[in-house]
Chain A
Amino acid sequence: MSVQLEIAGLAVAFRDHREERPLLEDVSLSLERGEILGLVGESGSGKSLLCRTIIGLIPSRKLRVTQGSVRLDGDEILGRDMQAVRGRRIGMIFQNPTSHLDPVMTIGRQISEGLRHHKGLDDRTARAEAIALLTQVGFPDPARAVTSYAHQFSGGMRQRAMIAIALACDPEILIADEPTTALDVTVQAQILRLLMELRDRRGLSIILITHDLGVVAQTCDRIAVMRHGKVVEVGEKRALLAAPQHPYTRELIASHPSMPHPEDAVITHPHDRRPIFEIDDLDVSFPVGGGFLTGKREVRALKGVSLRIWPGETVGIVGESGSGKSTLARAMLGLTRVSAGDIAFDGNVLTKDRDKTLKHLRSDAAMVFQDPFNSLNPRLTIGQTLAEVLKTQGETRSDKIPSRIGELLDLVGLDRSFAARRPRSLSGGQCQRAGIARALAVNPRVIIADECVAALDVTIQAQIVDLFRDLTQRTGLTLVFIAHDLAIVRNLCERVIVMHHGEIVEDGPSARVFHQPERRYTAQLIAAIPDINPDRPINCGPPSTQQEYVT
């Protein structure tokens, strides 16, 4: 193998009138012909900036390359005119295909634009080439896709379209910046497989940026780990995963949700008492659009869901986007109108005796949300937010409130000084801890956590999961933990409920569900999780052949 792209001693710094600080320091990496190099790191590690620098698209004028070189096939490209290199020799795809595809230009035009510009093809040839490319990336009806717009496709198909656009001019290198992060796990598996196929078929070299060690373990040949703008470790995949040298790499590997937790002995709670939640044949529908003369359409978010949750249990509800798991959470707390069926909390039937049940729910159940910043009122300090809850609950004497706030912050592992700070000055993990403190302020018997770690880095994720594990074990709290990430649920929850298209498809103890799933959907879902062990390959099931139009 020969080295195709050589990065040596690259440094990028941020500079404005007040300060200068390094964002990338002494980065040296090489990409060999035909290999997939995984670039792993958490947010702020500089992995995306590195790739932007390679193709000369530094995102701000305040950033400067201070030293180093980037050689493509031996020729220095850093600081050169990159227009002939971009797209033509190095293609790039991005995390969010929805925002990176032009919403008002057809997919076909976005492909042929590059072909006409770089290769000088005429309209008709370019269009034929576009159709061929779309076929190659797995569009079942490429002739139709060519004249369609991005919003007409699902997330997975949009990412395929972006790959087709990036490959239009036949580049030798593809840089993929978190290409599957926004996608459901089964779709992620399909896209990863497509990338590997394309590598084999076209002899592409790929730099795959991701925060998920599982993804690199499954797809890459070599791994480079980045942190704070530096490459802390590079190595062959198996060697690096088996014997990580740098402590940060070890922490990353240990934080990966697919790693079995050391205290794997999950306590299971007996189902002998009265369930705390009893849900029968629950239906929730939302009106969609509709209006004068067009009539109202309804989307059924939940279709006949029945479920029992017993006190002290830690229950994971998993499912892909649109499975109805968040709707279920909101319905359980009386935050969404129920179309049919019953919800009972602690023996009170919400759908019959609404006011009384709501009163119980408000004092005994609390919710933790996905977006840590959005779930706290930006105008209030953490202390004000907590005090408000304590006052409303009325169980804490007003002179005791400050000390109780202190206790709550201790409980979630935040320094007491955070009481005086506002959400905007907190990190995502800190905000999420504050959100949990707010939930605990109610002194609840149940916490429903809706995707509450999805927006966090893996090491922070692991910390929050540990916090929940600790809380449930110490206080006997019942936890309903909603997540799309099955691996996290496997580690935290004693029981798993799998949802698909508004229905519960499987419900059972975690150990059983993960080892012997009864339903094929569950099996597919589990098989699609990128395991950190490269010898447990992802399986994305049969290739999807149906046209994935959204409309």
Chain B
Amino acid sequence: MTATTLSPRWSARFGRRPMLLAGLTILGAFVAMAVFAPLVAPYDPILHDAGAKLQPPSLVHPFGTDNFGRDVLSRVIWGARIDLQIAVIGVVFPFLIGTGIGTVAGFFGGWVDALFMRIIDVVLAFPFLVLMLSIIAILGPGLGSFYIAMALVGWVSYARLIRAQILVLKTQDFAVAAASLGFSRLRIMFRHLLPNALAGSLVFVMSDAVLVLLNGAAISYLGLGVQPPVAEWGVMVAEAQGFITQAWWITLFPGLAIVTLAFGFSLTGDALADLMGVHE
């Protein structure tokens, strides 16, 4: 990725970008679904209905029902609450921690940089999910453990990204000019380097949200994240596995929800990259 900037009239171009529009529409729809879940969902997501087990999609249950007779559509709608939360919280903390560390390491260099780079090398030597699972193994299953593990592991990519950008920007003429004009180090860092470096990581936030969402759902699928009976898409796929031969709909719809939400993040990210002239 290279660092570049917002074009001056970027807000003016907004309307002419179908990709951005589509991405934001998808994200908006999911946020609305999460916020208004109690109003939108036709049934209770948790309550069992012994009389309506494993019903295929119909007008009464558009997405069918699961083995406890719960309405799959309602569970998918309620699931948006949890899965959006996973994507947002799972990104915010790594972003903040990683940006801070990356900026400090890139700007000061020397042993500070060397130390963080070694730590990053080691963390990156572990497959992401494996390290996540190891940490969750210690903390015990649950969404809280997932967030802690995310914060411990996820900052690494942001730190690397920001550091690389800062290192490139530091050698650019405008940064040298700032130094030659007697600006303080803090001013150079926060006014000249960081704003230019952030463009790249804001785009990365969107693709990272996809990865975090997939990871959160996968960990819940494995039974180590969100616990049943809470409606979460990964949990729903896991619960559906026992009925894979009889009821395809319990598996299909929560997965489609993940795919659609992820698609929304990806589209928005791609459009932002275009808009800001950032290339991965």
Contact = CB atoms under 8 A, between A and B. Distances in A.
Whether chains A and B associate is: yes
Interface of A: 330, 333, 335, 358-359, 362-363, 365-367, 369-371, 374-379, 388-389, 392-393, 422, 424-425, 435, 438, 442
Nearest to A441: B181
Contacts of A365: 180
Given A330-B176, A374-B172, A378-B196, A366 B5 contact: no
B179 A376 contact: no
Interface string B2-20: 0011111000000000000
Contact of A388 (B179, B183, B196): B183
- The B interface, classified by DSSP as helix, strand, loop or mixed, is helix
Contacts of A376: 174, 177
Given A379-B196, A422-B8, A425-B8, A333 B180 contact: yes
A526 B113 CA distance: 47
B280 interface: no
Contacts of B192: 377
A374 B181 contact: no
Scoring A335, A365, A377, A442 by chain B CB atoms within 10 A of each residue's CB, the highest score goes to: A377
A374 B173 contact: yes
Contacts of A424: 5, 7-8
A265 B181 CA distance: 33
Interface in B174-229: 174, 176-183, 187, 191-192, 195-196
Contacts of B183: 388, 392
A369 B175 CA distance: 11
B192 to A, nearest CB: 5
Contacts of B180: 333, 335, 362, 365-367
A371 B173 contact: yes
Interface residues of B, number: 21
CB-CB nearest 7 A-B residue pairs: A362-B182, A375-B173, A369-B173, A378-B5, A377-B174, A374-B173, A367-B180
Nearest to A381: B8
A367 B4 contact: no
A365 B182 CA distance: 10
Contacts of A375: 173-174, 177
Nearest to B175: A377
A378 B178 CA distance: 13
A438 B182 CA distance: 13
Interface of B: 4-8, 172-174, 176-183, 187, 191-192, 195-196
Contact of B181 (A330, A359, A425, A442): A442
A132 B195 CA distance: 55
A377 B6 CA distance: 12
A363 B7 contact: no
Nearest to A334: B180
B173 A438 contact: no
Nearest to B5: A378
Given A389-B181, A392-B182, A379 B6 contact: yes
A366 B174 CA distance: 13
Contacts of B7: 424
B177 A369 contact: yes
Nearest to A330: B176
Contacts of B177: 367, 369, 375-376, 435, 438
A378 B8 CA distance: 9
17 contacts: A330-B176, A335-B176, A358-B182, A362-B181, A366-B180, A369-B173, A370-B173, A371-B173, A374-B172, A376-B177, A377-B192, A378-B4, A378-B5, A378-B174, A379-B195, A388-B183, A388-B191
Contact of B176 (A362, A369, A393): A369
Given A330-B176, A374-B172, A377-B196, 5 more contacts: A367-B180, A376-B174, A378-B174, A424-B5, A438-B181
A438 B180 CA distance: 11
B5 to A, nearest CB: 4
B1 to A, nearest CB: 16
- The A interface, classified by DSSP as helix, strand, loop or mixed, is mixed
Nearest to B169: A377
Contacts, number: 60
Contacts of A362: 180-182
B6 A335 contact: no
Contacts of B174: 374-378
Contacts of A358: 182
Nearest to B174: A377
A438 B173 CA distance: 13
A210 to B, nearest CB: 27
Contacts of A330: 176
A369 B181 CA distance: 13
B170 to A, nearest CB: 11
B176 A366 contact: no
A377 B5 CA distance: 10
A388 B196 CA distance: 17
B266 to A, nearest CB: 27
Contacts of A363: 182
Scoring B7, B182, B183 by chain A CB atoms within 10 A of each residue's CB, the highest score goes to: B182
A371 B5 CA distance: 17
A310 to B, nearest CB: 22
Contacts of B5: 378-379, 424
A365 B5 CA distance: 29
A443 to B, nearest CB: 12
Contacts of B4: 378
A256 to B, nearest CB: 27
Nearest to A374: B173
Contacts of A389: 181
A379 B176 CA distance: 16
Scoring B4, B179, B195 by chain A CB atoms within 10 A of each residue's CB, the highest score goes to: B179
A359 B182 CA distance: 8
B165 to A, nearest CB: 14
A389 B180 CA distance: 11
B277 to A, nearest CB: 10
A403 B184 CA distance: 25
Contacts of A367: 176-177, 180
A358 B185 CA distance: 14
Contacts of A435: 177
Contact of B182 (A377, A378, A393): A393
A422 B177 CA distance: 17
Scoring B4, B180, B195 by chain A CB atoms within 10 A of each residue's CB, the highest score goes to: B180
Contacts of B179: 335
Nearest to A367: B180
A366 B181 contact: yes
Contacts of B187: 392
A379 B4 CA distance: 9
Nearest to A378: B5
Contacts of B178: 377
B216 to A, nearest CB: 34
B159 to A, nearest CB: 22
Contacts of B182: 358-359, 362-363, 392-393
Contacts of A388: 183, 191
Contacts of A369: 173, 176-177
Contacts of B172: 374
A415 to B, nearest CB: 18
